[in-house]
Structure 1
Amino acid sequence: MGKPTGPKPQCLLGMLPLFHYYMGKGTANYMKFSLRNSIRWSVFIFIFTFILACVFSVSSTTVLEGVGWGIGVLIVFFLVLVGILFDMMGIASAAAQEKPYHAMAAERVKGARHAIHIVRNADRFSSICNDVVGDVAGIISGAASTLVVIKFLASIDQNGAVVTTVVTVGFTAFVSALTVGGKAMGKSMAIHYSNRIVLIVGKCFYFLEERLKIRIFQVRKAKSGNGRRGKTHAAGKRESTR
């Protein structure tokens, strides 16, 4: 008799969870682990975003109240730039390839091991960069734009409805267009230069860890095998002389 044809048992067993999922049996057990992690991550993102938004809002409002509208415009542009840069970092982490960084880590390139951890945790890293910092910076820049417009109108002593509407709509539209256009260009650059961008971020994390003792990832340093190889070589020489 010939060998039976058809899929192997391993493949059939591997399809059983998917079968139970579609049949509505065992869905809770099959999705329990990922759902639990997703809920935990969502709660963490909620708390982190709330705290970051409070810090950004209070700091930007405090600074804007003590400066003129010209400095306020620079602060708004800075917030827009922060959103664009973090959006680039998030896209680059999702588009980068892990393999080149292993070769760099073997050559002890600074930041290569941190870049590996960024790529391996691209989903969470991009979520923090794009959804948390990027979106919060965009929202705060919109609120800051309103304060800048109010200060500008007060400086030129214009309370007319037409002037107020034109200045408010014009400046808000300009900031929105600058944000969207900057992020569009940043996404294109992040996709084409993803490996370089992630390596730069990895070097920044390396600097924070080595110089400022601020650890972002739990990166294991490569163990040197010189001592073990030296002992083995010495033992081999002793055996050869006997």
Structure 2
Amino acid sequence: MRWSIFISIITFVLASVFSVVSTAMLQGVVWAAGALIVLFIVCIGILFDMMGIASASANERPFHAMAAEKVPGAKQSIFIVRNADRFSNFCNDVVGDICGIISGTASALVVVKMIGSAPEGEGWLTAAATVVFSAVVSALTVGGKAVGKSFAIHYSIPIVLWIGRLFYLLENRLGVRVLGGGRKKINGKRGNKRAARSDTSA
């Protein structure tokens, strides 16, 4: 429940920010520039969808070997794989779905600009262009995610390591800690319990 409430709040905030930013960017540009912005939003959704699938498909063992060799980002990659349910939920469901909704809204704004900039007597051409643009955006979204998922499954280890290195740079260069949590000292607790049992037996 805590994670569900937390991710719902994060989704509300991110959706509001993305919507305001995309609307502000589209208001002062021509429809061609708006189309490029829509395609950029679609690419962001595909990228995060690929990251979420890679985290759920990756195996933890290779990263332990990398961590033993002190490869930058290996420890962060282990944390990502261990929390793949939450990481993939954020990437696929939060960012991915938000990009899908925002790209649809932005496409509608681009279509309005296309209709407004069309000369009189060429309404059929504008209607055809709007239909083609909407179809292209939908095809790129679905097709791009299909290709991204296949790529993420086959190359999950390099993708997760790339994400881990990005978090490593954020933590060590900029001091921004994205991933939280640490290992509990279970060994110490077990040692104390064993020591207490040995004293009672004596």
Q: Aligning the two structures, in what range does the TM-score lie when normalised by the shorter sequence?
A: 0.7 to 0.9
Contact map agreement 2:46 2:145 (CA 8 A) in 1: yes
1:157 aligned counterpart, secondary structure: coil
* Matched AA of 2:108: T
1-structure distance, mates of 2:113, 2:120: 11
Cα distance, 1:159–1:114 mapped onto 2, change above 3 Å: farther
- Residue 135 in 1 paired to residue 97 in 2? yes
Q: What is the percent sequence identity of the aligned residues?
A: 62
What residue number does 1:72 align with? 34
Aligned pair count?
Answer: 183
Of structures 1 and 2, the one with the larger relative CO (CA 8 A, separation 6+) is 2
What residue number does 1:182 align with? 144
Contact map agreement 1:113 1:219 (CA 8 A) in 2: no
- Residue 125 in 1 paired to residue 87 in 2? yes
1:149: how far off?
Answer: 1.4
1:218: how far off?
Answer: 3.1
What residue number does 2:71 align with? 109
Q: Which moved more, 1:182-191 or 1:68-77?
A: 68-77
Contact map agreement 2:118 2:126 (CA 8 A) in 1: no
TM-score, structure 1 normalization:
0.72
TM-score, structure 2 normalization:
0.86
Greater Rg by CA = 1
Contact map agreement 2:66 2:74 (CA 8 A) in 1: yes
* Matched AA of 2:8: F
- Residue 208 in 1 paired to residue 170 in 2? yes
* Matched AA of 1:46: S
Cα distance, 1:149–1:46 mapped onto 2, change above 3 Å: same
1:170: how far off?
Answer: 1.8
- Cα RMSD of the aligned pairs, angstroms, is 1.7
1:213 aligned counterpart, secondary structure: coil
